[in-house]
Chain A
Amino acid sequence: MEVTVLPEVTWLGVVIKAVIILAIISAIAGFGTYLERKVLAFMQRRLGPMHVGPYGLLQILADGIKLFTKEDIVPQNANKLIFQVAPAITAATAFIALSAVPVFPDFTIPEFIPLLGGTFVPSMAADLNIGVLFILGMMAAGLYGPLLAGMAQANKWGILGSARTAIQFLSYEVVTGLSILAPIMLVGSLSLIEFNDYQAGGIGSWMMWQQPVALILFLIAGFAETNRTPFDLLEHEAEVVSGYATEYSGMRWGMFFIGEYANMITISVLAAVIFAGGYNDLGFLAGWFVIILKIAFFFFLMLWVRAAWPHVRPDQLMWLCWKVLMPIAVINVVITGFVMMA
């Protein structure tokens, strides 16, 4: 195999990468809300946001101004400190999870830029050799955001929302872990780079052809962990008003949303790297362009599913997790093991 020598990763490069992730993913998260409204609108034969700017493109700006200038209310009997910290936990864990994900390609800052010129910026901020586990662990820690938010606000809807958070996230973590276990066994590593290299031989070598069951299970569990619509029981308007976010307003509420969209991007990147060939070149298309297409596709899939399926009931959610998805995931792991031994 050809060995490419990469420039040394300096602390400056890592810091720049972290800032890039924060800035760009937050912006994409904002843009994601616009995309979601537009896509949903077209699927339901509406127009969606149209009034602010051309095709409603400046709607994000209007929403941003609204969120930033809204009064930040802390309800009377709430635990003030925890109430204020909780949204930051959601946003922070989502971005920490992104630090171990290859989001954008490697690049070197051109020399003509003062101060920063010539700095090598790596594709991931922290290249851990156990990347997959770290991302899953950080997303698991993300459950504290909704959980503490619901418990701190002295509101019955909030308590119900946080109880649902604990059940849903704990249950579906099991499915996520077990569904990724089969690909991990095939690759024999927890590093995302190894996953990428394993699928280097074009479309035929993508993991999704070897592990179609694992892909479907991972996507279903991923939707549940990112609180997407068939499983968005945490803040289901018809049942619990807004769940854990009932008492939140302004930017604190916005931080929950940024965290949710960052988690959607993380799940999309994971699906693209583990199951859909990662950032390998595809024919004449460059790797960085291919992975952005794949991430965009998985992001679009989440919106598509939202338009296509109704909510499930909480008991159906638990039934689906423990009686359907988890047994299938275990059987998938066992069969993969037998095939590898044979």
Chain B
Amino acid sequence: MYEQIAFYLFSALTVGLFMVTVLSKNILYSMTSLAAGMVLISGFFFLLGADFLGVVQLIVYVGAVMALYAFAMMFFDATRDIKEKNTSSALVFLLGGMAALLLVVVFAAPIMGENIQASYPVIEGVGNAESVGMVLFTKYLVPFEVAAVMLLVAMIAGIILAGKKMDHSLTTVDDPINVQEETK
């Protein structure tokens, strides 16, 4: 009973917030509603008893990914509305049609998914984090390692891109503008 109420509440709020993300012309509204929607999605994991995944959703999406978006938003004037440019109506038509198709598939999924068997059923008496770890280090070991290597590559690339002038600090160097003005 409570779970159903919570589920419908979370669904309505999540859909509403993501609608705001898409429809709003204000960057700040979009970003805030996206972050809030991510928090509510972790609520679904908690409802399903997957506490660990719920917290991972919180830490990864809310704590890290959205904060990086927010950091990029610093370069815009967040208090002003943006004007949207719509260059190709064919593209809008195509994307809209695909979204509608996806919606049909989503609603049809329970009918198709009636006879699906879990290939890795939950083991009784094993905690959340442990069962995720078991699947991750047996069935999905190769994708897991590949993802680790990819992250390492991205990290090294990031360090090389940013690290050219890493050794001298901008704070301790005199501002070139001030130096020029003094010499004039």
Contacts and interface: CB of A to CB of B under 8 A. Distances in A.
A39 interface: no
A81 B29 CA distance: 9
Given A79-B78, A141-B39, A151 B171 contact: no
Contacts of A154: 79
A181 interface: no
B17 interface: no
Of A77, A129, A141, A313, chain B has the most CB atoms within 10 Å of the CB of A141
B108 to A, nearest CB: 34
Interface string A157-198: 001001100110110010000000000000001100000000
Interface residues of B, number: 30
Contacts of B74: 151, 159, 162-163, 166
A141 B55 contact: no
A320 interface: no
A162 B32 CA distance: 14
B28 A137 contact: no
B45 to A, nearest CB: 11
A78 B79 contact: yes
Interface residues of A, number: 36
B170 interface: yes
Contacts of B32: 82, 85, 144, 148
Contacts of A138: 58
Contacts of A71: none
A152 interface: yes
B71 interface: yes
B79 A77 contact: yes
B51 A147 contact: no
Of B26, B62, B68, chain A has the most CB atoms within 10 Å of the CB of B62
A143 B63 contact: yes
Q: Is the interface of A mostly helix, strand, loop or mixed?
A: helix
Interface of A: 77-79, 81-82, 85, 128-130, 133-134, 136-138, 140-141, 143-144, 147-148, 151-152, 154, 159, 162-163, 166-167, 169-170, 173, 189-190, 313-315
Contacts of A79: 26, 28-29, 78-79
B67 A143 contact: yes
Interface in B60-76: 62-64, 67-68, 70-71, 73-74
Contacts of B115: none
B68 to A, nearest CB: 8
B127 A151 contact: no
Of A85, A134, A159, A163, chain B has the most CB atoms within 10 Å of the CB of A134
A271 B22 CA distance: 42
A165 B88 CA distance: 39
Nearest to A148: B32
Given A77-B79, A137-B62, A314-B171, A152 B28 contact: yes
Q: What 3 pairs across the A-B complex have the smallest Cβ distances?
A: A140-B63, A137-B58, A137-B59
Nearest to B74: A163
B52 interface: yes
Nearest to A174: B64
Contacts of A159: 74
B117 interface: no
Contact of A151 (B58, B59, B67, B73): B73
Given A130-B52, A130-B128, A152-B78, A141 B58 contact: yes
B21 to A, nearest CB: 14
Contact of A166 (B28, B35, B67, B172): B67
A153 to B, nearest CB: 8
Of A151, A163, A169, A313, chain B has the most CB atoms within 10 Å of the CB of A151
B171 A170 contact: no
B151 interface: no
Contacts of A130: 51-52, 55, 128-129
Given A77-B79, A152-B78, A137 B55 contact: yes
Nearest to B72: A166
B126 to A, nearest CB: 11
28 contacts: A79-B26, A79-B78, A79-B79, A81-B29, A82-B28, A128-B51, A129-B51, A130-B51, A130-B52, A130-B128, A133-B52, A134-B51, A136-B59, A137-B63, A140-B63, A143-B67, A144-B32, A144-B35, A151-B73, A151-B74, A151-B79, A166-B67, A166-B70, A170-B64, A313-B171, A315-B169, A315-B170, A315-B171
